[in-house]
Structure 1
Amino acid sequence: MIVVKIGGRVVKNSLEKVILDIANTNEKIILIHGGGDIVTEYSKKLGIEPVFVTSPEGIRSRYTTKEELDVYIMVMSLINKKITSRLSSLGKSTIGISGVDASLLIAERKKKIVIIDERGKKRIIEGGYTGKVKEVKNEILTNLLKMFDVIVISPLALDPEESTPLNIDGDQAAFAISKAVKPDALILLSDVEGVLLEGKVVSRLTSNEARELSKKIGPGMNRKLLMAAEAIENGINKVIIGSGMKDKPITSALELNGTVIVNG
């Protein structure tokens, strides 16, 4: 069994390649999808201007207001059902859910967050409707995998205290799920071939090397490397960061094309 996370640009530009590869594999797959670029498009169409913030660590993320949360839920559900219906039509036994369903992903809303403002100063603001995963109900995934070949999951989580869905980072969802179910591999597919250093793909890293390299890599990939190191240290065999833009992207990643992070 493997866990695959596809980023928003892969969803927008290369989704059919991912779907066809899944349809032709014998692996049991948990697929977590993003879709931030599509959320942005729909928000603008509805007259909502998306807001992005940067953390002191240099990580850029969407600031989710209550208004935009509704758009986020709508778009993620749309993407989820498109993937599920296409895989099902290709003969793959597939179920599509979000992290809210059956309280699969429990999270806590961030009440306050620290950002770097336009003047380069640290500032504390209201947290909006984003959250950090606190718990994964892995028995739900275990039972679903007995019935289905593929589970497609939208990156939403439930805050039970506030009875609200939350926008959670897709990478964070993939790593939290992986730590719970201990797959043979976690594959992260984006629009690049792997971790790039001086224009070249770094083919292999230990968890310790991934932590060190995260200090030199730009926003987005630095978080992937830190989470990958933590995942390896929590019992996942390997994390592979590869391109979702090529033919047979999952097969290619399993053949160790891209950046492979292992224990060490």
Structure 2
Amino acid sequence: MIVVKTGGRVIKNNLQNLIKSLSKVNEKFVLVHGGGDLVTEYSMKLGVEPKFVTSPEGIRSRYTSKEELDVFIMVMSWINKRIVTGLVNLGRNPIGITGADGKMVIAQRKKRIVIINERGKKMIIEGGFTGKIKEVDSVKINSLLEHFDSVVMSPLAVDVEEGSMLNVDGDQMAYALSTSLKAEYLILLTDVEGVKLNDTVLKEISTTKSKEIVNQIGPGMNRKVLMGLEAVENGVKKVVISSGIIEDPISNALSENGTVIRNG
């Protein structure tokens, strides 16, 4: 079983090729899809101004207000059903859900977050409707995989204490699912060929040599690598970071073209 995470740029620019590629996978899979570019586009059409914040580590992310959460849910549902329908048309038997369905992914809302303001200073603001994943119900997800050959999941979780849906980071959700389900592969599809160092794609990153590498990578990719390293240390056989904007991205990743993270 494999877990695949694809970012919003892949969804926007290469969705049909992604669906065709997924349809050819010979085993069961869970797909976590993003869609941030489309959320931004529809937020602006609906008069909800998108807001982004930068963490002290330099990571830029969406600030999810109550109004934008509504748009986020709407757009993610639309993307989810487009993928499900595409897979059905190609002979697969998928189910499309969010992590909130059946409390399969439980998160805790971030009450406060630290950001860097326009003057370059740290400040604390209200956390909005983003969350940190606390629990994955692998029993329920495995039960779904007994009846369906694939699960397509939007990056939404539920805060059971507050009774609200939350926007959660797609990479974080993919990591949590892959470790909980003990996936053979975690595939992270991006708009680049893999992890680059000095303009060269790294073919492999091992846990024993990771420390000398992670500090030399930009903050966005750095975070994917750190999650990948945690994944292989927690039962995932291999993590592959590779391009999602080519004709057959899944076969490409399973052929280990890109950057492979492995234990050892």
Deviations 1:208-227 (A, max 9, x none): 43344222211311110111
Match of 2:139 in 1: 139
CA deviation string 1:95-152 (max 9, x = no partner): 0000010001000000000011111111010000000000000011111111111100
RMSD of equivalent CA atoms:
0.9
- 1:134-173 correspondence to structure 2 within 5 Å: 134-173=134-173
Letter in 1 for 2:206: T
Instruction: Return the offset for 1:25.
Output: 2.1
Match of residue 199 from structure 1: 199
Partners in 1 of 2:14 and 2:211 — Cα distance? 29
Q: What is the percent sequence identity of the aligned residues?
A: 60
1:256 & 1:220 partners in 2: Cα distance?
21
1:255 and 2:255 aligned = yes
Mapped pair 1:232 → 2:253: no
**Does structure 1 conserve the Cα–Cα contact (< 8 Å) formed by 2:114 and 2:124?**
yes
For residue 198 of structure 1, report the CA deviation from its aligned partner: 1.3
SS of corresponding position for 2:210: helix
Equivalent residue, structure 1, for 2:106:
106
C-alpha contact (below 8 Å) 1:208/1:229 kept by paired residues: no
- 1:117 is aligned to 2:104: no
Q: Which moved more, 1:215-224 or 1:135-144?
A: 215-224
Partner residue of 1:221? 221
- Structure-1 residue corresponding to 2:174: 174
Q: Which amino acid aligns with 2:60?
A: R
CA gap of 1:195–1:79, structure 2 versus 1, over 3 A, is same
Cα distance in 1 between the residues matched to 2:211 and 2:155: 25
Name the SS for the 2:245 alignment partner: coil
* Pair 52,209 (structure 1): closer, same or farther in 2 beyond 3 Å: farther
2:16 aligned residue = 16
Say if 2:71 is the partner of 1:71: yes
Contact 2:183 2:235 in 1 (8 A): no
Q: C-alpha separation between the residues in 2 aligned to 1:58 and 1:263?
A: 27
SS of corresponding position for 1:145 = helix
Structure 1 segments (4+ residues) deviating >6 Å: none
Distance 1:36 1:189 in 2: 14
Unaligned runs of 5+ in 2: none
Asked whether the equivalents of residues 4 and 31 of structure 1 are also in contact (C-alpha less than 8 Å), the reply is yes
Superposed displacement of residue 15, structure 1? 1.1
After TM superposition, the structure 1 stretch with the greater mean CA deviation from structure 2, 202-211 or 251-260, is 202-211
Inter-partner Cα distance in structure 2 for 1:56 and 1:208: 27
Q: In the TM superposition, what is the alpha-carbon distance from 1:232 to its structure 2 partner?
A: 1.1
Alpha-carbon shift at residue 248 of structure 1 (Å): 1.3
Contact 2:7 2:33 survives alignment (8 Å): yes
Partner of 2:186: 186
TM-score if structure 1 supplies the norm length? 0.98
Output the CA distance in 2 between the equivalents of 1:102 and 1:118.
40
Residue 201 of structure 2 aligns with an amino acid whose one-letter code is: V
**Amino acid aligned to 2:30:** I
The SS at the match of 2:134 is: strand
TM-score, normalised to structure 2, is 0.98
Instruction: Tell me, yes or no, if the aligned pair for 1:211 and 1:225 is still in contact at 8 Å.
Output: no
How many residue pairs get matched?
Answer: 264
Match status 1:241 vs 2:241: yes
Letter in 2 for 1:75: V
1:31 aligns with 31
**Paired amino acid for 1:56:** P
How far apart are residue 263 of structure 1 and its match? 0.4
Structure 2: distance between partners of 1:229 and 1:30: 20
